[in-house]
């Protein structure tokens, strides 16, 4: 792995959440992973078996890694083995993402989410939608 000096003059990260990382400098191995299960209910019901990832196939299917299709523009100037960055502005980093300035030997990232909504009261189908008078 290359060892370099990493220098950042200014970095502004607004939000960094959910197994995400800001790495300035070299790293031998980074592995980020997020498993999330969100259950929304309109009644206070607890069955006791919520949160079991094994019940949902999304959490144990083999991971497929997407191909990168958009062009990547890189400007490189290797002077005396250092990386210099003037300014970095990041709005948000979430769900097993990484911002890194430096060398990296191995990186793996994975996020799996499952949102479940249990509604015990069906929506009222008899409620009429308001109409615009111009449409009459």
* CA-based nearest residue to 94, from 116, 72, 113: 113
Measured at the CA of 12, the angle between CA 110 and CA 84, to 5 degrees, comes to 90
Are 99 and 26 in contact, with CB atoms under 8 Å apart? no
In a domain, 130, yes or no: no
- pTM strictly above 0.75: no
In a domain, 102, yes or no: yes
In a domain, 128, yes or no: no
User: Could you tell me which residues come within 8 angstroms of residue 93 by beta carbon, excluding any fewer than 6 positions away?
Assistant: 13, 15, 16, 17, 20, 22, 99
How confident is the model at residue 135, as a pLDDT? 46
In a domain, 127, yes or no: no
In a domain, 104, yes or no: yes
Are 2 and 79 in contact, with CB atoms under 8 Å apart? no
Are 120 and 40 in contact, with CB atoms under 8 Å apart? no
In a domain, 12, yes or no: yes
In a domain, 131, yes or no: no
How confident is the model at residue 10, as a pLDDT? 92
Give the domain range for residue 46: 5-122
Q: Residue 136 has what DSSP assignment?
A: -
User: How would you write the pLDDT of the chain (136 residues) with one tens digit per residue?
Assistant: 556 678 889 999 998 887 788 888 888 888 888 888 887 877 777 777 777 788 888 888 888 777 777 787 777 666 677 777 888 899 888 877 888 888 888 888 888 888 877 777 666 655 555 455 554 4
Sign of torsion, CA 64 67 114 112?
positive
41 vs 112: CA distance, rounded Å:
21
In a domain, 83, yes or no: yes
Which residue shows structure tokens 């958009």? 70
Please tell me the total count of domains within the chain.
Answer: 1
């Amino acid at each position: 792995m290359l060892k370099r000096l990493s220098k950042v003059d200014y970095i502004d990260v607004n939000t960094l959440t959910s197994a995400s990382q800001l790495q300035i400098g070299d790293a031998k191995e980074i592995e980020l992973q997020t498993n999330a299960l969100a259950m929304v209910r309109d009644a206070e019901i607890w069955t006791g078996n919520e949160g079991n990832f094994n019940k949902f196939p999304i959490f144990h299917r083999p991971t497929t890694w997407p191909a990168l299709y958009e062009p990547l523009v890189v400007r490189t100037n290797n002077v005396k083995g250092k990386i210099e960055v003037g300014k970095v502005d990041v709005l948000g980093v979430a769900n097993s993402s990484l911002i890194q300035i430096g060398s990296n030997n191995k990186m793996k990232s994975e996020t799996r989410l499952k949102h479940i909504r249990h509604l015990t009261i069906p929506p009222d189908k008899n409620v009429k939608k308001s109409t615009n008078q111009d449409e009459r």
